[in-house]
Structure 1
Amino acid sequence: MTNRRTFLTQAGLVSAGLMVSPELLKAMAKDRVVGLQLYSLRDQIKTDVKGVIAKVATAGYKEVEPFGYSKADGFWGLNANDFSKLLKDNGLSTPSGHFEFDSFLGAGKTDELKTYIEAANITGMKYVIVPHLNDAYIKTVSDFNNIADKLNNAGELCKQSGLKLGYHNHNFEWKPVDGTTFYDTILAKTDPALVSMEMDLYWVVRTGQDPTAIIKAHPGRFFAFHIKDMDKANHEKNTEVGNGTIDFKSIMGYAKLGGIKHFIVEQENYTDIDPYVSIAKSCAYVKSILNV
């Protein structure tokens, strides 16, 4: 018998043109796990990486997405091999990481990118992600096209090592310039075989865009959702996933159409709640809507 939750899940897939059997839905759910962008615990992890990773696992996560790696400092003082071991010891994996791309996108230097690729392969990542951009790089449509070309070039370097480049959005990507936007340019001018998108749902919604409309226009271009909720009283603040204004249940019905493989929780700020309690609540909610 089809219960209400199964019906609603199927309804979401029908609206995306992706009706599947209940058996396949169950199989899809088994493959889904919830991850955490470690920027959510940036204040804690810089002084206690081992303790933070253990608590992330205890909170129910199976994946983590690190940020801020450098060859000199590694992952908060751990080199890539030691960080990889720490994750495995806690039952965690890391499908992707956020890395600083200023030297490549600004000056075309590949030295740092090569160290990212090395660290990504050691830790088992599949995606090396551009997490943000210097505003100076994207003032004009010509700039947009130039950065798109550089993203393709970075994607080629990643591909040579069995990886893929990812791009994570904020809200500035939708600022109109001469009839287009940077986000439209990335989707149009980058090679899907080289560059995949990590959709930050909070920033998409906050800038007034519809995540499902973007997915329907660009099916298969997205490898991950960043899942963070918008506080009901102050849209500039985050709250625990499920407590805010974003309708994640509807959006998740389009995950398969978008190509989503990873569901990564992130919270950038907290109000009157312990961060570890917060991330545990968010994890439990995301699991409930993914049926895992």
Structure 2
Amino acid sequence: MTTRRNFIINTSLAAAAVLAAPSLAFTMNKKEIGLQLYTLRDELPKDVKSTLEKVAKAGYTIVETYGFSIKDQFWGLSPKELKKILDDNNLKALSGHYNLGSFLYDGNTAELIAAIEAAKVLKNEFLTIPWVDEHFRKSIENYKIIAARLNEAAKMCKKAGLKLAYHNHDFEFQKHDGVTGYEILLKETDKDLVYFELDLYWVARSGNDSLKLFKENPGRFKMWHVKDMDKVNQALNTEIGSGLIDFKPLFKEAKQSGMLHFFVEQENNYVPNSFESIKTSCDFISKNLI
């Protein structure tokens, strides 16, 4: 018979066990598998509802949105309408990719303000900047301007209850007078305000080492894109676990990275189709990485 005293003792022992094994507690918080919805960019505009239903059935519980614009919102849906569909499928949009128009270059805040409002409706935790146009990333000075804008946007996000993150490709690792753009962004942004979403594929594709980045910048990479590299053609993606990237050492250092959320992304080379691909990736991660 379970007495109140035994219940308290057993509960206390369980809590002590978790405290004694922080790595286990960290792992337990990483059970949710996310999907960057850009993976399904051909399907979503046709039928948002059925596409998100299939995302949930594939095993995902969190997503990262993309494609918001002031004119079309999300594929013709308002943030409120999209939130309803997400809720109906028990999906949480913890991050969103928001192109901020000219803000990074001239400080025009119109799209940033609209993005913040959309992110608040969706209950995003992170407002993530996915891309910088080539014309504005050609020099050290360009990257210094971008860093300053990121700091400014991060302050606005904080006031709205959001966090700002920056997502990389490979171009940030190109050197300008011996310094990479990514080094400038890491150095010149406020580490307490600006976070980074590390795309593991693009780091590998650029010839760099994610583990080295974790060690040199602990805690700054709050999100990852988990995207694998095709064994035959490295310019292509493949399902997680089928490619060249060994994710196990990376997940072992998730705590050093600071990773809170991760999102599967696959942009091409789906086998046999995009819906089967996302399920294959989700199954592999569930069985082998978390």
Q: Answer yes or no: same fold by TM over 0.5.
A: yes
Query: How far, CA to CA, are the matches of 2:105 and 2:141 in structure 1?
Result: 14
Give % identity.
44
- The amino acid of 1:184's aligned partner reads E
- Report if the CA contact (8 A) 1:36-1:64 is conserved: yes
| TM-score, normalised by the number of residues in structure 2 | 0.91
1 CA distance for matches of 2:208 and 2:106? 32
Per-residue CA shift, 1:11-49, capped at 9, x if unaligned?
xxxxxxxxx988544433332210000000000001100
Counterpart contact for 1:196–1:222, Cα < 8 Å: yes
**Take 1:23 and 1:288, find their aligned partners in 2: how far apart are those partners?**
21
Corresponding residue SS for 1:43: coil
For residues 134-193 of structure 1, what are the alpha-carbon distances to aligned partners after superposition, in whole Å with 9 as ceiling and x for unaligned?
A: 111121211111111111111111111011111000000011111201100000000012
CA contact (8 A) 1:241 1:286 kept: yes
Residue among 28, 31, 36 paired with 2:29: 31
Moved more, 190-199 or 267-276: 267-276
The 2-side partners of 1:127 and 1:252 are apart by 21
What does residue 280 of structure 1 align with?
279
User: Which residue in the other structure is 1:17 paired with?
Assistant: none
- Distance in 1 between the 2:47 and 2:230 partners? 29
Question: Match for residue 128 of structure 1?
Answer: 127
Letter aligned with residue 79 of structure 2: A
SS at match of 2:204: helix
1:77 correspondence with 2:39 = no
Residue 211 (1) aligns with residue 210 (2): yes
Does 2:230 correspond to 1:231? yes
Partner of 1:97: 96
Q: Amino acid of the residue matched to residue 184 of structure 2?
A: T
Give ranges in structure 2 of 5+ residues lacking alignment. Answer: 1-17
Aligned counterpart, 1:167? 166
Distance 1:272 1:30, change over 3 A: closer
- Asked if structure 2 preserves the Cα contact closer than 8 Å seen for 1:102 and 1:133, the reply is no
Structure 2 distance, partners of 1:39, 1:271, is 13
For structure 1, which segment, 146-155 or 135-144, has the greater mean C-alpha deviation from structure 2 after superposition?
A: 135-144
SS at match of 1:220: coil
Q: Residues 26 and 255 of structure 2 are in contact (CA less than 8 Å); yes or no, is this contact kept in structure 1?
A: no
Partner Cα distance (2:288, 2:107) in 1:
42
Task: Compute the TM-score of the two structures, normalised by the length of structure 1.
Answer: 0.90
Does the residue aligned with 1:167 lie in a helix, a strand or coil? strand
1:149 partner SS: helix
Q: Which amino acid aligns with 2:64?
A: E
Aligned counterparts of 2:105 and 2:187: Cα–Cα separation in 1: 21
- Match for residue 147 of structure 1? 146
Q: Given that residues 230 and 236 in structure 1 are in contact (C-alpha distance below 8 angstroms), is that contact kept between their aligned partners in structure 2?
A: yes
Greater RCO structure (CA 8 Å; 6+ sep):
1
Task: Give 1:49's aligned residue.
Answer: 48
- Asked if 2 retains the 8 angstrom alpha-carbon contact of 1:229 and 1:240, the reply is yes
Match of 1:222 in 2: 221
8 Å Cα contact 1:65/1:98 also seen in 2: yes
Give 1 or 2 for the bigger CA radius of gyration.
2
Q: Paired residue for 2:61?
A: 62
**Secondary structure of the equivalent of 2:172?**
helix
3-state SS of 2:93 partner: coil
Contact 2:105–2:145 (CA<8 Å) still a contact in 1?
no
Letter aligned with residue 139 of structure 2? T
Count of residue correspondences = 272
Q: CA RMSD in A?
A: 1.4
How many Å separate the matches in 1 of 2:143 and 2:55? 37
Q: Which moved more, 1:95-104 or 1:238-247?
A: 95-104
- Structure 1 residues without counterparts, runs of 5 or longer: 1-19
Q: Residues 271 and 161 (structure 1 numbering): CA distance in 2 closer, same or farther, change over 3 Å?
A: closer
Amino acid in structure 2 at the alignment position of 1:54: E
Assess if the C-alpha contact under 8 Å between 1:59 and 1:280 holds in 2: yes
Query: Residue type of the partner of 1:27?
Result: A
